[in-house]
């Protein structure tokens, strides 16, 4: 991938570019990339537009193969990719369109604590949370799943965690899908996946997963912020994790099963291997993927419990008295059956979001009643040295992008390249000078996750706002970060 991509990108508007169907024989729809002129050079250098064109070959694909401004190279599908297929027209489901970390996602907690109350105590609080939260590659938590419990967590998701005492029922109302996808079938999960997942509920993991203490630095939409219980100078907490080794194994298992039937005459890349959603193979993968999605929601629910527990211990108060309520939880890597309008008609589609966030508009039936007037919260983490954002979904996202938007900053360089180019000592001093406390479990995590390894999230968010597919509500600044 050393040479830049030189294919056609035709300007649709200042925030969207199109790869025409004529670029490659076999494309069923055009490809569309949300970006501005400033970002195109990096996008071309990464060559991910070729993956946008390749996914346009998928059977049953509807309207466009889409990519968000945090686009970068991935397995089969680009990261930032959104594809919807029609099950009634031989539409497929593709493991590469979900990714290995099934339901990697993020949740945002608010507190009643102001920055002034805590500004001189961030390091002590982060140190305590670092002890409370298992983090790092292969990390294990205090929960051991066995017998019927290992199946219940896969069916009930975050609800299982709440009923075990790791939260309250209200948490489920503010979790996408109420924390559990229907259709999960534990019988479609391999023994190897069970083995990998039995001790990882309530663990952060490694790589770009994190727990971050933040302060709200800027409010763009005061009325919407009030609905979410947010104010300037408020302390918030963001948790980013997924289905850990359990989801990875499910993806790996089903890729191998589907590759047996791969037809290279119909698809340009083996990594796009897929199955019709209405086939046994497709239904089995969807059922297993749903198990992994539910596992991830249970994982984030337990992680939130550990954060609440840590704050309660630190402040000597109950978490309820600290106002530690869940604002929302969104999935980034998932395929879901949703209703969307195509050519003026309502259709049930299989929407793949890989490194993309659901962004439903006001009055959509799938968002909490409390948020009906303003739309679904969209949580966009940046890197550990710059900002994160909260946005809301819009009607235009439904019209153009199957109710989807970006999911984060998006990488500019690989982890290997970051390790080679980043001086960890210099970076640590830079972050400290900005008042950001970092704790990492992995030896190379600091370099891998350096801010310069990522696009500037402000540029990414400005594109989706400019395109009208989501709207900025507030901006958060990192104060303390735990990384695996």
Q: Which of 115, 112, 85, 114 lies closest to 97 in space, CA to CA?
A: 85
Q: How far apart are CA 252 and CA 267, in angstroms?
A: 19
Q: Which of 352, 400, 407 lies closest to 378 in space, CA to CA?
A: 407
DSSP code at position 362: T
Q: Is 407 among the catalytic positions?
A: yes
Q: How far apart are CA 289 and CA 311, in angstroms?
A: 33
Of 332, 340, 387, 407, which one is the catalytic site residue? 407
Other C-beta atoms closer than 10 Å to the C-beta of 320 total 11
DSSP code at position 431: H
Q: Which residues touch 411 (CB under 8 Å, ≥6 apart)?
A: 72, 79, 453, 454, 455
Q: Which of 300, 308, 313 lies closest to 124 in space, CA to CA?
A: 313
Q: How far apart are CA 380 and CA 472, in angstroms?
A: 10
DSSP string covering 98-135: T-SSTT-EEEEEEEEEEHHHHTTSHHHHHHHHHHHS--
Paired with 414 in beta bridges are none
**Residue positions annotated with a catalytic role:** 407
């Amino acid at each position: 991938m050393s040479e830049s991509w030189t294919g056609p990108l035709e300007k649709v508007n200042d925030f969207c570019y199109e790869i025409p169907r004529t670029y490659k024989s076999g494309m069923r729809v055009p490809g569309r990339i949300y970006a501005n002129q400033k970002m195109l050079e990096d996008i071309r250098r990464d060559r991910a537009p070729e993956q946008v064109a390749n996914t346009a070959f998928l059977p049953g694909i509807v309207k466009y193969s889409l990519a968000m401004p945090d686009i970068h190279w991935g397995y089969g599908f680009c990261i930032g990719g959104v594809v919807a297929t029609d099950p009634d027209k031989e539409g497929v489901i593709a493991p590469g369109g979900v990714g290995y970390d099934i339901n990697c996602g993020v949740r945002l907690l608010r507190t009643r604590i102001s920055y002034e109350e805590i500004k001189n105590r961030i390091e002590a609080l982060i140190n305590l949370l670092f002890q409370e939260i298992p983090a790092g590659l292969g990390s294990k938590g205090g929960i051991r799943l066995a017998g019927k419990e290992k199946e219940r967590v896969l069916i009930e998701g975050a609800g299982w965690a709440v009923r075990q005492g790791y939260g309250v029922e209200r948490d489920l109302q503010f979790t996408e899908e109420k924390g559990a996808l229907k259709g999960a079938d534990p019988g479609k999960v391999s023994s190897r996946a069970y083995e990998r997942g039995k001790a990882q509920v309530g663990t952060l993991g490694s790589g770009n997963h994190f727990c971050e203490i933040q302060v709200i630095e800027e409010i763009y939409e005061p009325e919407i912020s009030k609905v979410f219980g947010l104010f300037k100078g408020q302390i918030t907490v963001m948790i980013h994790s997924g289905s850990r080794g359990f989801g990875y194994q499910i993806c790996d298992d089903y890729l191998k099963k589907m590759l047996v039937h791969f037809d290279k005459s119909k698809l340009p890349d083996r990594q796009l291997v897929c199955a019709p959603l209405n086939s046994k193979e497709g239904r089995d993968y969807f059922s297993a993927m749903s198990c992994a999605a539910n596992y991830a929601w249970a994982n984030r629910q337990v992680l939130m419990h550990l954060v609440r527990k840590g704050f309660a211990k630190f402040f000597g108060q109950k978490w309820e008295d600290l106002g530690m309520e869940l604002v929302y939880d969104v999935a980034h890597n998932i395929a879901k059956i949703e209703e969307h309008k195509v050519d003026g008609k309502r259709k049930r589609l299989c929407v793949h979001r890989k490194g993309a966030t659901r962004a439903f508009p006001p009055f959509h039936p799938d968002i909490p009643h409390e948020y009906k007037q303003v739309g679904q919260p969209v949580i966009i983490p940046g890197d550990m040295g710059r900002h994160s954002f909260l946005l809301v979904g819009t009607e235009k996202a439904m019209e153009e992008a199957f109710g989807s938007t970006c999911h984060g900053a998006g990488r500019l360089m690989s982890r290997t390249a970051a390790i080679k180019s980043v001086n960890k000592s210099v970076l640590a001093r830079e972050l400290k000078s900005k008042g950001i406390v970092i704790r990492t479990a992995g030896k190379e995590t600091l370099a891998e996750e350096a801010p310069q390894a990522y696009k500037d999230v402000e540029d990414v968010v400005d594109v989706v706002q400019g395109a009208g597919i989501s709207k900025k509500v507030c901006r958060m600044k990192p104060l303390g970060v735990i990384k695996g």
